[in-house]
Structure 1
Amino acid sequence: MADRKETILTVRGLKVDFTTPDGTVEAVKGIDLDVHAGETLAVVGESGSGKSQTMMGIMGLLAKNGRVTGSARYRGEELVGLPAKALNRVRGSKITMIFQEPMTSLDPLYTIGRQISEPIVHHRGVTLKEAKKRAFELLELVGIPEPARRIDSYPHELSGGQRQRVMIAMALANDPDILIADEPTTALDVTIQAQILDLLKTLQKRFGMSIVLITHDLGIVKHFADLVAVMRRGEVVEHGTAAEIFARPKTDYTKMLLAAEPSGRKSPPADDAPIILEGRDVAVDYTLSPGFLRGGSSVFRAVEGVNLRLRHGQTIGIVGESGSGKSTLGRALLRLLPASGHYRFGATDISNFDRSAMRPLRRELQLVFQDPYGSLSPRRTVGEIITEGLYVHEPELSRADRDRRAVAALKEVGLDPASRNRYPHEFSGGQRQRIAIARAMILKPKVVILDEPTSALDRSVQQQVIELLRDLQAKHGLSYIFISHDLSVVRAMSDYVIVMKNGRIVEEGDTDAIFEAPKEAYTRTLIGAAFNV
């Protein structure tokens, strides 16, 4: 292993600019960074701070309208301005990168064995057979179960955590000096996050590589990084050891990031508050086909025997790992998918309501999704998106009336009403989530199911959205079902918590009781992984 303090990547005066129809956008404004052998440098900051663009610029991976200037020297060799052919000798071999969402980085048409093997063939000049043997070893190394079988699997056949392990295997294929990990755990459950971070630490010690961790999650940084660079609006505003940054932050911005952990508690509803939504003995089955040209099918029970009562003004948090049935349960309660059991909305039995019978109730039963960008039509203006439901539920409204309602809804969620003529891509992630909330609130619902509404947001933006949701709930007497794998957010939002595993409820109770004295080992594992206890 190289000397721990040896500097293997030196960045000086690095700038990244983008040419747009509105002029030049300065994404990175002349920053300096050092990466030392065997250490982890965390680059932190909110979305738009320039974290990812810094590394993309160094790696020569900017969009066509991007330009990088300044200096980035890897072991003395200048990377900025290096021809692509020469740069390819470094990237993918000596410096590798893994991304937040592996499904967008893996080719759905190729097996994972083939995808791991290709960079080995390219950089080492070995045969495909030899490369596949190395791919098998790498799958073993990163803890993929049954690697002999999984090597011939396609990305969609793996879980999110397994796909991220595959990305790590690809990054390690050629024994890199530096691994750049861009938000590698944001989309994962807390227990899987902990496993991936432990894996990266273990591999770092084994191979002596450096890690550059790009993240907005300071909880990860505290337990994972040696050095921290805090970025804001394209500049490094603070730099130091992790211990220094967390114990004695110097800038107001760093202090704000550290204080942005979701906080506060919601007051529970009265014990005699009326039940607004109920599901009894809820069960959901999916029919699975084994695949093309293979006969037979099987039934997978996604939710089994769940009972839930949501009271007026209450927030029930539903937590559990991916595949636990959280989102499926939420959709079953809204009668958005076939499910057995008994369901009531207020005094109305909706157990046998079909799509047509449910339509008049949809305005009072709303759903907000995890990814607002994916749920907002890119071809419609924000005003058109927000008022879409009014055409169905209040068709008598004039165009002027709808516009007035849109203005009021945008004001209520803290957005400039003048923005209603803009398109979703012109907004930040937090602003898009506010638009999605406005679309639900304009119909004046009684129940809103929030499915991972903050998981893709920065901590500071999460806190803003949480406060907005709590304010709207208090103002309008709303009832929420809050689905999330982020337990700190659930704790801040909920007054009652349901813990799910494999489609069943394993524990439930008041929020404080669940977090302070969990009874089940599974719940203790989730809480331990989330709060590093």
Structure 2
Amino acid sequence: MTDEIVLDIKDITVSFDTPDGDVQAVRGVNMQVRRGETVAVVGESGSGKSQAMMASMGLLASNGKATGSAKYRDTELLGMPKSKLDKIRGAKVTMIFQEPMTSLDPLYTIERQIAEPLMVHGGLSRSKARARALELLELVKIPNARDRLSAYPHEMSGGQRQRVMIAMALANDPDLLIADEPTTALDVTIQAEILGLLAQLQKKLGMAILFITHDLGIVEAFADRVYVMRHGKVVEEGPTEQIFNRPAEPYTRMLLDAEPEGRKAPVPDSADVVLQAENMHVTFGQPGGLLRSSTEIHAVKGVGLTLRAGQTIGIVGESGSGKSTLGRAILQLLPADGRVVFAGTDISGFDRRQMRPYRKSLQVVFQDPYGSLSPRMTVGEIITEGLLVHAPEISAKERDKRAIQALKEVDLDPAVRNRFPHEFSGGQRQRIAIARALVLKPGVIVLDEPTSALDRSVQKQVITLLRDLQDKYGLSYVFISHDLAVVQALSDYVIVMKSGQVVDQGTTEKIFESPDSDYTQRLMRAAFELREVLNQQAKGAA
């Protein structure tokens, strides 16, 4: 690390023009990042940490405006014409976004998406760009990397998509990498690998890293300095060791103390079965033929589960283990073999029309809230859209009343229903997605990484909220997550998946205290020893 300043932000202010008036997201923020340095920006959801960087990179939404100064070395970025900015973005300064599904083009293969910046900024030929794309996928530990070059984003897990984004960002050996929640969708073992990789590349290239995150465990092991943000302002800054061991602000101490708490008591075996899946199989790609090789990927192999009234089944496993695919298969959102019985009806193979009567009672909250929320609809319209289908007889006034109630239940101000998704933080968008599911009063909700985008303090609130709603309405959850601390706090039964198969299952107490499989034991060790793993990675990079 040197004293050479790569990014210098001075008095950045960001505001958005909304139907409810001018909303200030960032208020006079100052930051500096030096060559070879890792700087972390932390704070609760909605603190302004991502918007400060989006403003600096010229990526604010159309209703956003920024004032102040953001310099890359001696070049002012704020207000720079797009044509000039594009020569810096993607080459000298790159950014990994929090929500990969909205950043990856659904119509382009993974190869094309990685190769494009290599050809545009690096001048590589198509064949050399392909070779480099393969090298980058292997670098970020994508399984079967050569086969995945021809895949599309929707055919990959959330964690795999995030790794593709990281590969794209690293493609041209940038001078500054801005990483906005880059490990949000990754399980703990891959987190350690990716952060170790970034540490190695940082040493090799002298690259600076600005790391935006809510995961303080990673910050402690990975960052040199920390900025703590709240309500759009920097409330504390300093070396990592000082921030973690001698924080000056009560808010910083609150962030450090925030961890999911409590345990859920298992439901009795006598509780009614509300959802049952048997021998589920999901395959992507095409089988081989006379003139072509097989592209088949067996994502789920013979998996089953039995969900009872009031129960939460946690499904855990590494990225690409098939846990999200299983959730979608159960909901009949993708083709699958096997049998699914919901509320006494065999819904296996039901098409969209046949499933419509069951959607009200069988809801889902997706991992990527921004990708599942229409950018052209207000929050109120998003939440009440399902009511137009499943309760067309109710009036507009009644729909608005239910939207207000749903927003209150997820601890959002009902006044925000006139705003649009891009005006919210990732955590706020996830709460909107939960409100959309709740408004229909379902019996079962499949929650696919619902807390992955949330900071620990908000995770605690959401876990408490989900428990309260479960008790109040007798809800049953299928809770898919790579965050074992959250799974332990919310689930009363856990299924562990690896490579599309179940390798362990049982009550939460059994899985966490005496798991049967070596794989589950490794997951547990990695989850609760992440700091040690990251320290070892950092030593290896040094």
Q: Calculate the TM-score normalised by the size of structure 1.
A: 0.81
Does residue 40 of structure 2 align to residue 42 of structure 1? Answer: yes
Indicate if the aligned counterparts of 1:319 and 1:498 stay in contact, CA closer than 8 A: yes
The total of aligned residue pairs comes to 522
Query: What is aligned with 1:98?
Result: 96
Which sits farther off after the overlay, 292-301 or 486-495? 292-301
Does residue 457 of structure 2 align to residue 464 of structure 1? Answer: no
Q: Report matched runs for 1:127-166 at 5 Å.
A: 128=125, 132=129, 135=132, 139=136, 142=139, 156=153
1:451 to 444, 448, 452: 448
Check 1:456–1:292 CA distance in 2 against 1; reply closer, same or farther (3 A cut). farther
Indicate if the aligned counterparts of 2:115 and 2:126 stay in contact, CA closer than 8 A: no
Query: What is aligned with 1:307?
Result: 304
1:120 to 97, 119, 122: 122
> What is the one-letter code of the residue matched to 2:39?
L
Deviations 1:294-322 (A, max 9, x none): 76877654333323222222111011233
Aligned residue for 1:267, secondary structure, equals coil
Does residue 221 of structure 2 align to residue 219 of structure 1? Answer: no
For 1:173 and 1:336, locate their aligned partners in 2 and report how far apart those are by CA, in whole Å. Answer: 34
Indicate if the aligned counterparts of 1:14 and 1:72 stay in contact, CA closer than 8 A: no
Indicate if the aligned counterparts of 2:283 and 2:297 stay in contact, CA closer than 8 A: yes
TM-align CA RMSD: 4.1
Which sits farther off after the overlay, 322-331 or 229-238? 322-331
Deviations 1:460-517 (A, max 9, x none): 3222222111101111222211112222221111011101122211001121222233
For 1:369 and 1:151, locate their aligned partners in 2 and report how far apart those are by CA, in whole Å. Answer: 23
For 1:149 and 1:357, locate their aligned partners in 2 and report how far apart those are by CA, in whole Å. Answer: 38
Query: What is aligned with 1:498?
Result: 495
Structure 1 unmatched runs, 5+: 122-126
For 1:331 and 1:84, locate their aligned partners in 2 and report how far apart those are by CA, in whole Å. Answer: 39
> What is the one-letter code of the residue matched to 1:525?
R
Check 1:251–1:116 CA distance in 2 against 1; reply closer, same or farther (3 A cut). same
Q: Report matched runs for 1:69-468 at 5 Å.
A: 69-70=68-69, 72=71, 74=73, 94-101=92-99, 108=108, 110=112, 112-121=114-123, 128=125, 132=129, 135=132, 139=136, 142=139, 156=153, 168=166, 171-172=169-170, 175-280=173-278, 282-286=279-283, 288-289=285-286, 300-346=297-343, 348-350=344-346, 354=350, 359-378=356-375, 380=377, 382-390=379-387, 393-394=390-391, 397=394, 402=399, 404-417=401-414, 420=417, 424-425=421-422, 427-468=424-465
Check 1:24–1:439 CA distance in 2 against 1; reply closer, same or farther (3 A cut). closer
Which sits farther off after the overlay, 5-14 or 189-198? 5-14
CA shift at 1:335, angstroms? 4.7
Indicate if the aligned counterparts of 1:171 and 1:179 stay in contact, CA closer than 8 A: yes
Structure 2 unmatched runs, 5+: 533-542
For 2:300 and 2:30, locate their aligned partners in 1 and report how far apart those are by CA, in whole Å. Answer: 51
Structure having greater relative contact order (Cα 8 Å, sep ≥ 6): 2
> What is the one-letter code of the residue matched to 2:438?
M
Indicate if the aligned counterparts of 2:94 and 2:169 stay in contact, CA closer than 8 A: yes
For 1:170 and 1:299, locate their aligned partners in 2 and report how far apart those are by CA, in whole Å. Answer: 25
Aligned residue for 2:306, secondary structure, equals strand
Query: What is aligned with 1:124?
Result: none
For 1:204 and 1:86, locate their aligned partners in 2 and report how far apart those are by CA, in whole Å. Answer: 26
Percent same amino acid at aligned positions?
A: 58
Check 1:292–1:435 CA distance in 2 against 1; reply closer, same or farther (3 A cut). farther
For 1:394 and 1:387, locate their aligned partners in 2 and report how far apart those are by CA, in whole Å. Answer: 10
Which sits farther off after the overlay, 147-156 or 472-481? 147-156
Indicate if the aligned counterparts of 1:373 and 1:432 stay in contact, CA closer than 8 A: yes
For 1:81 and 1:133, locate their aligned partners in 2 and report how far apart those are by CA, in whole Å. Answer: 35
Check 1:210–1:289 CA distance in 2 against 1; reply closer, same or farther (3 A cut). same
CA shift at 1:270, angstroms? 2.8
CA shift at 1:362, angstroms? 3.9
Aligned residue for 1:219, secondary structure, equals helix
Q: Higher Cα Rg: structure 1 or 2?
A: 1
Check 1:479–1:78 CA distance in 2 against 1; reply closer, same or farther (3 A cut). closer
Query: What is aligned with 1:479?
Result: 476
Deviations 1:317-339 (A, max 9, x none): 01123332223323443455554
> What is the one-letter code of the residue matched to 2:121?
P
For 2:380 and 2:411, locate their aligned partners in 1 and report how far apart those are by CA, in whole Å. Answer: 15
> What is the one-letter code of the residue matched to 1:115?
P
For 2:382 and 2:145, locate their aligned partners in 1 and report how far apart those are by CA, in whole Å. Answer: 48
> What is the one-letter code of the residue matched to 2:249?
T
Check 1:161–1:276 CA distance in 2 against 1; reply closer, same or farther (3 A cut). closer
Check 1:86–1:484 CA distance in 2 against 1; reply closer, same or farther (3 A cut). closer
Which sits farther off after the overlay, 468-477 or 382-391? 382-391
> What is the one-letter code of the residue matched to 2:136?
L
